[in-house]
């Protein structure tokens, strides 16, 4: 357990880091608003009352004032946020929870569970607040920041992305295997409509009142329905705001879009554990879950013919899509738009219509935007070109996967893993590395454990660059 002095020092470090971020954002926003929105309006409304020095350089004066106000507001926001965190940590410790920082791998595992269960493929951050051991497993209270919308297990299908902050109770379940499901409270408007028209939101919920209050998404709805015992239904009806989600190794409970304050923490934990225990008791008595089908690299004549073909190869469309995603076109388009927009900003800003004192600002801002766009578009084009070059001109070799390392990066809702592959190339042994995702990474882990030989394409000029055959194959169940 950390001493009060260590906690205070950690809090101060967090304040300066968070304060620097918020203040920089505040400075940027305040400067732009002051220079281009508030400043011109005030000059037009009060030109007879303002000093000459401000009238001569209005954008500079009001930009500096806006930057000061925005920076101060940013520091204030950081202070309020960390003060609330400090109060919750103190309350958690008084309830017997540990506030020691979780290991990186443990935090990443929780983040993977939350990302999978909330089916979000964009921004997501998990900040553990406190944790403790329970008879069911490790309970972690964490703050989650994410964007709404996502995959099939989410009911948040909206036309726009929305930032959501909420507190979740993540329970790592050890002795019970749970089916994947999401039991989500229906929104107020949907609840009113269901009461008016008698619409049920989930066929698997055979309770009319429960189906009006909750939406169920599940891989095995009939098995999840077996978990909704009388005790569980009674608890859900008494506390209709709980969002309950589950995968094979965890249970996640939350009040949607709500962060729990220090005063609410003990009640939140008590209710979450009570509801979790009822679900787990029901799961122990429920029918066994079917075993998930293993996904492996199946027989693929197209892949075999492609790998055996002499370079330069023609790349089949299916293999091209798996390695070089069509989503790479988007950053190239965005980068090109930035280049065109930044160039236009420079041209217009240096014209006669712009005051001479303001021209350096417009030219500098336009040049910055164009440079950023060029980096985005150029980097994406180079990445795509290098991947295609490796597919067309890469040399075939056989080796084995030495290790798979988990990284902290998530792309398109899948964790990135780094594979190290040892292979023979023209005599000496070489070591190459490549990035893997999702089911492909799981198959690579299985290959690494049993030591089976595997094939790679490697770059003759730089053998550390490889493409593993699993990245090119269509996984089959």
Same domain, yes or no: 381 and 401? no
Tell which wins on pLDDT, 8 or 185: 185
Q: Indicate whether 213 belongs to any domain.
A: yes
Same domain, yes or no: 373 and 279? no
Burial 148-179 (b: 16+ CB within 10 A, else e): bbbeebbbbeeeeeeebebbbbbbbbeebebb
Rounded to an integer, the average pLDDT of 406-415 is 72
Q: In this prediction, what percent of the chain has a pLDDT beyond 70?
A: 80
Whole-angstrom Cα distance, residue 341 to residue 336?
8
Q: Indicate whether 301 belongs to any domain.
A: no
Dihedral of the alpha carbons of 185, 191, 197, 198, in degrees to the nearest 10: 40
pTM of the model: 0.60
Same domain, yes or no: 78 and 198? no
H helix or E strand, kind and range, residue 454: strand 454-458
Rounded to an integer, the average pLDDT of 396-424 is 83
Q: Indicate whether 30 belongs to any domain.
A: yes
Whole-angstrom Cα distance, residue 416 to residue 114?
16
Residue 206 has a pLDDT of 67
138-152, 186-200, 220-234, 337-351: least confidently modelled range: 186-200
Examine the fold and report which residue of 364, 390, 416 is the final residue of a domain before the chain moves on: 390
Please report which confidence band the pLDDT of residue 252 belongs to, taking 50, 70 and 90 as the band edges.
very high
Q: Indicate whether 32 belongs to any domain.
A: yes
Same domain, yes or no: 122 and 181? yes
Q: At 294, is the secondary structure helix, strand, or coil? A: coil
Per-residue pLDDT tens digits for 152-178: 344 444 445 677 889 999 999 877 888
Whole-angstrom Cα distance, residue 113 to residue 119?
10
Q: Where are the beta strands (DSSP E) in 269-412?
A: 296-297, 395-411
Total of domains in the chain: 4
Examine the fold and report which residue of 67, 94, 121 is the final residue of a domain before the chain moves on: 94
Q: Please state, in angstroms and as integers, the Cα–Cα distance from residue 255 to each residue in 111, 193, 244, 306, following that order.
A: 18, 22, 9, 51
13-17, 148-152, 197-201, 276-280: least confidently modelled range: 197-201
Residue 261: both structure tokens together:
């304050």
Residue 268 has a pLDDT of 92
Q: Indicate whether 302 belongs to any domain.
A: no
* Closest to 66 measured CA to CA, from 29, 24, 22: 29
Whole-angstrom Cα distance, residue 77 to residue 165?
15
89-93, 254-258, 453-457: least confidently modelled range: 89-93
Same domain, yes or no: 383 and 467? no
Same domain, yes or no: 136 and 260? yes
Examine the fold and report which residue of 250, 285, 320 is the final residue of a domain before the chain moves on: 285
Domain region containing 29: 4-94
Q: Indicate whether 303 belongs to any domain.
A: no
Q: At 409, is the secondary structure helix, strand, or coil? A: strand
Same domain, yes or no: 156 and 25? no
How many helices and strands, by DSSP H and E, does the chain display? 16, 14
Q: Indicate whether 305 belongs to any domain.
A: no
Same domain, yes or no: 137 and 268? yes
Rounded to an integer, the average pLDDT of 259-266 is 89
10-14, 99-103, 186-190: least confidently modelled range: 186-190
Same domain, yes or no: 111 and 220? yes
Is residue 199 pLDDT above 70, yes or no? Answer: no
Same domain, yes or no: 218 and 168? yes
Same domain, yes or no: 381 and 407? no
Same domain, yes or no: 149 and 254? yes
Per-residue pLDDT tens digits for 360-409: 777 888 888 889 989 998 888 888 888 888 888 888 888 899 888 888 77
Distance of CA 294 to the CA centre of its chain: 26
Whole-angstrom Cα distance, residue 271 to residue 280?
14
Whole-angstrom Cα distance, residue 473 to residue 455?
11
Residues 6+ apart with CB under 8 A from 425: 395, 397, 458, 463
Q: Indicate whether 294 belongs to any domain.
A: no
Is residue 276 pLDDT above 70, yes or no? Answer: yes
Cis-peptide, bond into residue 307, ω within 30° of zero: no
Rounded to an integer, the average pLDDT of 75-102 is 81
């Amino acid at each position: 357990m950390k001493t009060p002095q260590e906690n205070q020092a950690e809090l101060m470090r967090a304040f300066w880091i968070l304060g620097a971020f918020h203040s920089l954002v505040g400075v940027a926003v305040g400067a732009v608003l002051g220079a281009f929105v508030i400043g011109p309006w005030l000059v037009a409304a009060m030109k007879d009352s303002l000093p000459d020095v401000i009238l001569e350089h209005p954008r500079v004066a009001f930009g500096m004032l806006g930057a000061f106000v925005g920076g101060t507001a940013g520091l204030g926001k950081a202070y309020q946020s960390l003060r609330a965190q400090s109060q919750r940590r103190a309350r958690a410790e008084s309830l017997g929870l540990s506030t020691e920082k979780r290991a990186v791998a443990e935090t990443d595992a929780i983040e993977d569970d939350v990302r999978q269960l909330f089916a979000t493929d964009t921004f997501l951050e998990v900040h553990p607040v406190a944790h403790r051991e329970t008879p069911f497993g490790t309970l972690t209270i964490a703050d989650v920041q994410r964007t709404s919308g996502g995959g099939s297990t989410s009911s948040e299908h909206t036309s726009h992305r929305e930032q959501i902050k909420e507190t979740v109770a993540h329970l790592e379940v050890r002795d019970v295997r749970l089916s994947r499901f999401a039991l989500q409270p229906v929104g107020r408007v949907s609840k009113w409509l269901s009461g008016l028209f008698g619409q049920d939101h989930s066929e698997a919920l055979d309770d009319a009142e429960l189906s009006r209050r909750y939406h169920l998404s599940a891989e095995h709805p009939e098995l999840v329905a077996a978990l909704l015992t009388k005790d569980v239904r009674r608890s859900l009806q008494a506390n209709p705001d709980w969002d309950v989600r589950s995968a094979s190794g965890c249970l996640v409970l939350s009040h949607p879009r709500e962060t729990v304050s220090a005063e609410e923490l003990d009640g939140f934990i008590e209710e979450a554990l009570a509801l979790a225990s009822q679900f787990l008791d029901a799961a122990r008595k429920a029918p066994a879950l079917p075993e998930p089908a293993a996904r492996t690299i199946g027989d693929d004549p197209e892949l075999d013919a492609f790998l055996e073909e002499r370079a330069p190869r023609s790349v089949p469309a299916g293999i091209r899509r798996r390695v070089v995603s069509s989503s790479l076109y988007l950053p190239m388009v965005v980068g090109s738009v930035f280049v065109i927009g930044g160039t236009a900003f420079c041209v217009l800003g240096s014209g006669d219509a712009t005051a001479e004192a303001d021209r350096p600002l417009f030219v500098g801002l336009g040049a910055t935007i164009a440079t950023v766009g060029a980096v985005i578009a150029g980097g994406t084009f180079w990445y795509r070109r290098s991947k295609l070059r490796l597919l067309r001109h890469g040399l075939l070799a056989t080796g084995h996967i030495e290790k798979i390392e988990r990284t902290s990066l998530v792309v398109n809702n899948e964790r990135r893993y780094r594979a190290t592959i040892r292979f023979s190339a023209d005599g000496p042994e070489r070591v190459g590395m490549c990035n893997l995702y999702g089911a492909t990474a799981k198959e690579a882990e299985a290959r690494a454990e049993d030591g089976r030989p595997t094939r790679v394409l490697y770059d003759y000029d730089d053998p550390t660059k490889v493409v593993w055959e699993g990245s090119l194959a269509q996984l089959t169940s």
